[in-house]
Chain A
Amino acid sequence: MTPTLMGRWQTRIILFFIVGLPVTLLFALAWTRDFSDPGFTMVFLVLMTIFLVGMVLDPAYILVQSLRWENDWPFAFQLFFSICEFLVVLALIAADWLPFAHASVIDDPEMRKMLFSHFAVVVTFSILALLGPLQVFLPRWRYKGGEVGRL
């Protein structure tokens, strides 16, 4: 991939709505089978936090990219930094900085398992979407560094 900053942000928003939210909904339903389960809302809140952390980190990624001759962003980087974003969110929870999640959430093995699994599922589908299917609907997206709209 060869995203621009605007392209990163726009693609992140697209993936959040097209992949993140629906996949999280299906995942939460399958995992908890109960809307009132604290885990149900937790995965959505974590998803949203990862989304915001990513938006904040995107300019830093663009800086790294500008040091690369190809000015590109290999899929392997995408995966690696997605994991980093997730770890940042976990760290924020552990530090008790997030209003919706108490640090104890991390200590609960059941909850921990759920968060890790949720992340693995979402990141897999997101990267699969980036590897091609998105272009089927948005044929200009790949030429615009990830931005939508006309060329």
Chain B
Amino acid sequence: MFPLRIEISHQQENGETATSFVLLPEAGLYTVGRNVDQSIIFEDDRISGKHLTLDVSPSAIVIEDVGSTNGTTIDGREVRKEVWDLRRSLVLAGIVTLHVVSTVGIDEGPVTLNAEDRHQTIVAERGSFGEQHEREVQAFHELFMGRQIVDINAISQSGHLKFERDFIAIGGGIGSFTWVDHLRVFGVGAERIGVIGENEICHANYERYCQASQIPRHERLRSNSASTPDNVWGFPGYALREAIQALRLGKISGVRGIFQVFMEPVLAESYTPRAGDVFRSLEVEMQRIGWDSMFRKGIVRALRKTSDGRYAVFFKAAAGVAGEKRNCIALARHVHVATGYPAVNFVNDLARFRIEHRERSGHVVNAYLDHEHVYEHMALAEHTTVIVRGRGIVASRILQKLAETRAKNAANITVVHLMRSPINHRAGARFGRARRSVFNDVEVQPFNWPKSCWGGELRTRLEAMPQAQRARALAVLGGTTTAIRSDWIELAEQGQEEGWYRKIYGSVIAMEPHGDTVRVTIERSGDIARKDAIDADYVIDCTGLVGEVTNSSFLADLLATYSLPRNELEPAGKERPASRGGIMVTNDFEIAGMRHGSGSVHCSGQICGGGHYAPVDSFLGLQYAALRAVDHLSVIGGAVPPLGPVRSFSGWLKWCRGVAP
């Protein structure tokens, strides 16, 4: 029956709603509140320090409001202490909703969790309420709470110091991996590097997003041949490797990718690698550079400067040896922060629906979260109507999956594709003398940004722009786009012809349950008087991920403690919550405010988005950020030997031979 999976929606003070999942791994008492010693923590003043306890046993969950200020309710009724009816949602202070997601609940056998089932999942630790434990946790947090500089003696005397390294990467995802990979290739030994993250495998979280948004391992990513997070040089690219592999198996068709690379994007569709090929290549490189020996599983709570010119990373290690302290400190001279998307935010009306009509929440889903049940149900149902909302690359992929489900099961599925407004084929974004093309009401470009943002004219220009001008440029160059893929075009045409696919233009103004369906009221674009109601079985929202860095308590604490500045963005469209940019970094991806003696903190990925390097949250972007950061390290502290042409070449030969750097 364990682990139990709970979905949490948190309506934040800025009106946005963050959704995450918590796993309760075993029976026991779990605590919920604002204090840092709670099992599930909400950094929100409206939640009490100690708000609620969940006494979880194999047969039931007993909830108890432990004297919170703003109360706990179920269906609007005040709760003191009772057995939780798991079909009902628990609402804390009117803003946080807890809902047991697994339909296989208590008493009904085991809940199996597979990789794609866990999305932004935090495993809660039981609150063992021994007084000594509590004192210890308190003392650990007092070491860093409210301090900018932590005394090194206090750290060594605390008994929490776990290890010291020259370099520590926080995050453990692909962003951390590229940085560590560059360090290793530049000549830093594995024994000088530490990595702290939540997943042993660096692409685990990325792969989860892929799986949910319908990119299994055999499907292709939106990435280019030379974007090789496993290879510093981008050569051989994935197209060449795919060709060699195919030729070994005697398949001539495998060389197609090489022609694509040569002809793209004018005479052929741009080459994109298979997800599985990229993941496997990362696994090989992890092995080569000794990733396992550097990795520690844990959740980072805080990063602080120390009195001896270093940095202290405060983290909670994953449960390991019994009796071992789990609150740990690691010391480093240089730190890299790449923690990825902090949480998935739903668009506002979707979040509202899911909170107000909890029992129907499975019918209104976000494309980036696990929603396999939708396809499973469709395959069996007599007829299903689905509204797909949004027109980005994920929408394209979801439409493909719907068409596949339809064809494979001879299922009767009607797809309504909802877009805010039509886009004239000559109305694509304009930048300088160039204009983006539009196809089927969607602006198209092979990748998230125009290609030269990675390493051409646009990279240089964006780097040189003042902030306000850059924010405007980024809004034009990015935006919602998809790639031109002949199979997608064919699907849309075929679907329209056969009548199971249609596009409508408008904005959602209401969503409510109607019989067994969800009634979606749409205000047609350009015709305010005209409102249409569509009764859909499912609504799949593909309008994208919103990464708000303060949704991560670690980053929120870092930003607040050192008053770090953030990038400013142009306001997004009215359907999407306005988002602020990521952490502001220098051109070398250093967080300037964290400079400490000869030590430095660098950053990469989505959490420093909206800055001088547009595609920082892409494979090649992460590689660029890693190269800049490690180049910078070789200049500032002499901490890393420089990488010239000869050493670069010999490093590459080692990569080819699969020898450790």
Give Cα A80 to B460, complex, Å: 27
Please name all residues of chain B whose beta carbon is closer than 8 Å to the beta carbon of A66 when the two chains form the complex: 432-434, 457
- Whether the pair A145, B455 counts as a contact (CB closer than 8 A) is yes
Asked whether B648 lies within 8 Å of A69 as measured between CB atoms, the reply is: no
Flag A36-76 by CB within 8 Å of B: 1 or 0 each. 00000000000000000000000000000111111110111
Q: Which of A59-103 contact B (CB under 8 A)?
A: 65-72, 74-77
Interface secondary structure of A, over-half rule: loop
B-facing mask of A129-140, CB < 8 A → 1, else 0? 001110111111
How many Å from the CB of B140 to the closest CB on chain A?
40
| CB-based nearest A residue for B588 | A151
Which residues from chain A contact B431 at a C-beta distance below 8 Å?
69
- Report the tally of A-B residue pairs with Cβ distances under 8 A: 110
Q: Which residues of B contact A145 (CB under 8 A)?
A: 452, 455-457, 459-460
Chain B 364-404 against A: per-residue CB contact (8 Å), 1 yes, 0 no?
00000000000000000000000000000000000000000
B451 touching A71, Cβ below 8 Å: yes
Residues of A within 8 Å of B237, CB to CB, are 132
Residue of A68, A72, A135 near B235 (CB, 8 A) is A135
Contacts A69-B450, A70-B451, A139-B232 given; indicate if A2 touches B627 (C-beta within 8 A). Answer: no
Interface centre among A74, A75, A131, A139 (most CB of B within 10 A): A139
Question: CB distance B434 to A71 under 8 Å?
Answer: yes
- A2, A131, A138: the one contacting B456 at CB < 8 Å is A2
Q: Flag if A71 contacts B456 (CB, 8 Å).
A: yes
Does A136 contact B451, Cβ atoms closer than 8 Å? no
Q: Are B234 and A135 in contact (CB under 8 A)?
A: yes
Closest to A142 in B: B455
Complex contacts, B266 vs chain A, CB 8 Å:
74, 76-77
Q: Categorize the interface residue count of chain A.
A: 20 to 34
Any chain A CB within 8 A of the CB of B219?
no
- Shortest CB-to-CB span from B437 to chain A, Å, is 7
- Decide: A137 near B648, CB < 8 A? Known: A70-B451, A76-B267, A132-B226: yes
Chain B nearest Cβ from A120, distance in angstroms: 16
Do the beta carbons of B451 and A72 come within 8 Å of each other?
yes
> Do A151 and B631 touch across chains, with their CB atoms under 8 A apart?
yes
Residues in A with CB closer than 8 Å to B234 are: 132, 135, 142
Complex alpha-carbon distance, A2 and B434, angstroms: 15
Say which one of B257-265, B272-280, B306-314 lies at the interface with A. Answer: B257-265
Residue from the list A2, A77, A150 in contact with B455, Cβ < 8 A: A2
Contacts of B233 in A (CB 8 A): 132, 135-136, 139
Q: Is the CB of A138 within 8 A of B645?
A: yes
Contacts of A77 in B (CB 8 A): 266
Alpha-carbon separation in the docked complex, A151 to B652 (Å)? 20
Instruction: Check if A3 is an interface residue, CB within 8 A of chain B.
Output: yes
Cβ–Cβ < 8 Å partners of A2 in chain B: 451-452, 454-458
State how many angstroms separate the Cβ of A82 from the closest Cβ of chain B: 13
| A2-B455, A4-B457 known; A70+B265 contact, CB < 8 A | yes
B235 near A67 with CB under 8 A, answer no
Q: Once the chains are docked, how many angstroms separate the CA of A133 from the CA of B240?
A: 12
A143 CB to closest chain B CB, in angstroms?
Answer: 4
Contact A69 to B435, CB < 8 A, known contacts A4-B456, A4-B457, A151-B627: yes
Name B residues whose Cβ lies closer than 8 Å to a Cβ of A.
226, 232-237, 240, 261-267, 428, 431-437, 445-446, 450-452, 454-460, 624, 627-628, 631, 643, 645, 648-649, 652
Ranked nearest first, the 8 interchain pairs of A and B with the lowest CB-CB distance are A2-B456, A132-B235, A71-B452, A2-B452, A143-B455, A70-B451, A137-B645, A72-B451
